[in-house]
Amino acid sequence: MFEILEHTADIGFRARARSREELFEQAAEAMGSIALETGGVAGLIEYPLEAAGEDPESLLVNWLSEVLYWMDGRQVAFHHFQVRELGSHRVAGTGFGEPRDASRHAARLIVKGVTYHQLLVKETAEGWSAEVYLDI
């Protein structure tokens, strides 16, 4: 579950999940839905994803930056994500998707990067929550 957050120069989202792994999956899906129309994406191909970071915030930023690299640099449209390993300094998982097809995966916004601006990752009574702003 995620919601879009308004900002004057960037766009953000708030993701909520029961576990840290699910939080990372939801955050990646949120970013993907900001960049592309994801309704027609098939999750047929598995793409390996991994990132490292010094703390929970940098780990999330680096995870999302890895997803963004695949979306922009490798032209992949993602359907969903699965985190299989999440430690204090490393995350590894899989993105399920397909090569981007402009006729089926229309661009929504150009995401240039994941920022540390007002970045928040915290444990809540219901699980985990993150607020992330993207440079567009």
For the CA atoms of the chain, what is the radius of gyration?
A: 14
Strands (DSSP E) along 6-75, which ranges? 10-17, 45-52
Q: Per DSSP, what are the bridge partners of residue 98? A: 77
3-state secondary structure of 53: coil
In a domain, 66, yes or no: yes
Task: Tell me what pLDDT residue 25 has.
Answer: 98
State residue 3's pLDDT score.
79
Q: How many independent structural domains does the chain possess?
A: 1
**Residue 117 resides in a domain:** no
- Provide the residue range defining the domain that includes 38: 19-108
pLDDT per position as a tens digit, 97-110: 999 998 899 999 99
Residue 55 covered by a domain: yes
The CATH number of residue 57's host domain is: 3.55.10.10
> 0.85 exceeded by the pTM?
yes
Q: Is the pLDDT of residue 8 over 70?
A: no
